[in-house]
Amino acid sequence: MSAAIYLDHFATTPLDQRVLDVMLPYFRDDFGNPSSDGHHIGQRAKQAVEKARDVIRRAVGCESERGVLFTSGATESNNLLIRGLSECIGIPRRHIVVSAIEHKSVLEPINWLSTHGYRVTRLPVDGSGLIDPSLVAKAIAPDTLLVSIMAVNNEVGAIQPLQEIGELVKAHGVLFHCDATQGIGKVPIDMSRCAIDFLSMSAHKIYGPKGVGALCVAHAEPERFLTPQLLGGGQEHGLRSGTLNVPGIVGLAKAIEVTNLEADSESERIRKLRDRLKGRLEATVAGLHINGDPARSIPGALNVSIVGVRSTAILARIQHIAVSGAAACGGQSAKSHVLTAMGLDRERVQSALRFCVGRFNTVGEIDSAVDRIATEVAWIRNQPVFGEAQAS
């Protein structure tokens, strides 16, 4: 196979040409610094940023006109929220509720807080990777500061019941954060309807550029809730210093526009490709198990385990097919905390392959990928060392 087949859209997505087209002028022609608004070059850049801010705010149902803070991506957004909220003067609560399957950029800052006097309740998930909203309500205590639940899981694609969870959190007077990085454009997300106070996102998961994202804050004065983690020029209401990435910001807004505009038709097409991938794998690869529930996941997501064949062995044989064995943030050799939390045994976790079908995939690519994987699984199983390992 000479041409690469990309089926790892959880990790990142290719830049859509329509997004690139709107970005290009801000690299060269309208190159101004939006903070230098004393002249027309800076003013044009500032106007582009503010237009993008309004597009994003409306797309996610953020009612605060000052509520979109631009960052380098969801990791920074999550850290700004979690650490910035915990350090904010006047917020004495010291308990956080989080799901066990959050992205590492949520779990690691929260783990850090647990070493600095915070209590943390980690909520379990079921075998599909879903959270029971009643467990969220039971976990909330008088000193709970924040509940953090992702919109869509980045390994099995499980869609969390955000509206139900948000209503319960709001009823207890607690702040609600949602890492919506994998959910934007794939599931309806409305901060107002779901009572979400803080929402994180990244452009490169929705066919936009790498290195840009946002933290959306539902409240009129976001500085009341956050302590900045970067100090310097005072950009973004003093909450995120640093020269704004104007081409990236424009690209993020365009990526959201395109994704939301085509969400219904794209979801149907991608779901059909994912179902074809699933069906052909089940028909051609013996010992295949589905991890999670595709019916309760985003359209492109498929996570499988092949009994007795470690994912690292398969990945080494299919270099031209871009799939992964775990989340990109953890590296291929990392043990999946998501699959472990779902109750899968060690063998299933070590043999897991994560697929995510995307916008530009074709039927031919799906069929070629399945044929190659089936061939390589058969080759691995025919090796003497495989038989010895099975016998032991």
CATH code, domain with 273: 3.90.1150.10
In a domain, 365, yes or no: yes
User: Based on the domain organization, do 255 and 288 belong to the same domain?
Assistant: no
Give yes or no for a contact between 228 and 207, defined as CB atoms under 8 angstroms apart.
Answer: no
Question: How many other C-beta atoms lie within 10 A of the C-beta of residue 380?
Answer: 18
Q: Determine whether 329 is an active site residue.
A: yes
In a domain, 193, yes or no: yes
In a domain, 392, yes or no: no
Q: What is the pLDDT of residue 335?
A: 80
Residue that finishes a domain, picked among 261, 287, 306:
261
Number of domains in the chain: 2
Going by C-alpha positions, the residue among 390, 389, 392, 328 that lies closest to residue 103 is 328
Q: Is the pLDDT of residue 391 over 50?
A: no
pLDDT 10s digits, 142-160: 999 999 999 999 999 999 9
Q: The sheet that has 352-356: what strands, in order across it? A: 288-290, 301-306, 352-356
Question: How many other C-beta atoms lie within 10 A of the C-beta of residue 392?
Answer: 5
User: Based on the domain organization, do 125 and 143 belong to the same domain?
Assistant: yes
Catalytic site residue from 62, 178, 216, 329: 329
User: Based on the domain organization, do 190 and 52 belong to the same domain?
Assistant: yes
Q: Is the pLDDT of residue 207 over 70?
A: yes
What does the pLDDT average to over 248-270? 96
Going by C-alpha positions, the residue among 342, 272, 351 that lies closest to residue 127 is 342
Domain of 289, in residue numbers: 5-13+263-386
User: Based on the domain organization, do 157 and 276 belong to the same domain?
Assistant: no
Residue linked to tokens 């900045």: 228
Going by C-alpha positions, the residue among 106, 105, 128 that lies closest to residue 301 is 128
What does the pLDDT average to over 91-118? 95
In a domain, 234, yes or no: yes
Share of the chain above pLDDT 90, in %: 91
Q: What is the pLDDT of residue 37?
A: 87
Q: What is the pLDDT of residue 384?
A: 84
Distance separating alpha carbons of residues 369 and 320, to the nearest angstrom: 9
Sequence-ordered list of residues with C-beta below 8 angstroms from that of 134, at least 6 positions apart, any chain = none
Distance separating alpha carbons of residues 94 and 34, to the nearest angstrom: 38
